[in-house]
Amino acid sequence: MADRRGKYTTISIPRELYERVTKIIEDTGFRSPTEYIVYLTRQAVIAIEADHNLIHSLPYSVGRGDEQA
């Protein structure tokens, strides 16, 4: 349990949304709203990190700064 407490944390979502998630995951294979929300969040984080990798490596003027102070 100590390990689990260290590795996980709790976030809050509106109860109404939690109940809707509970309903929609019934036939998806996800075992709980938490598992589903973790899945969705992980997908979103991968996408944002991938986007970040791209925009920070743009060679053009729109990219990160390179002029010296």
Partner 1 sequence: MTRRRRVLIVGADGADPQIMARLIGGGKLPQLARLCVEGRWGPLRTTFPPVSPVAWMTCLTGVSPAVHGIRDFLVKAQDSYLPTIGLFRVTGGRDGLPVYHSQRAVPTLGEILAEAGRTAYILQVPGTFPPPPIQGGLLAGFGMPDLLGTFGVSAWYTTDPAGKRAAAPEGTDLVHALDPLGSGLWRGRVAGPAKASSSFILRQDGSRFVLSLEVEGQRPAAVLEPGGWSGWVRLPFSVPGRGIVEGICRFKLVSSGTVLSLYRTAVQCTPDRPLYPLSEPPGFSARLAELVGPYATVGMPSDMDGVRRGIVDLDTFTQDAYANWQQQVEMALGLIAERTWDLLFLHLFTIDNAQHLFWKYQDPLHPGYDASLGVAYRTEIERAYRWVDAQLGRLIEQIGDDTTVIVVSDHGGVPIYRLVYLNAWLASGGYLVPREHVRAGQAARLDWDRTRAAMYGTGSIWLNVRGREPRGSVEPGAPYEALRDEIARALLAWRDPETGESVVVQVLRGEQVYGGNTGGGPDLVPALRRGYGLGRGEGLGRVMAGRPLIVSNQSPWSGGHEGPYLPSDVGGVVVLWGPGVQEGDVPARAALCDIAPTVLSLLGMSAPGVIEGRSLLD
C-alpha 23/C-alpha 69 separation (Å) is 55
Three-class SS state of 6: helix
Nearer to partner 1, 13 or 46 (CB): 46
Nearer to partner 1, 6 or 59 (CB): 59
- Min. distance of Cβ 68 from partner 1 in angstroms? 6
Using N-to-C axis directions, what is the helix angle for 15-24 and 33-55, rounded to 10°?
100
Q: 32-51: which residues touch partner 1 (CB under 8 A)?
A: 42-48, 50-51
Contact positions toward partner 1, by CB under 8 A?
42-48, 50-51, 53-69
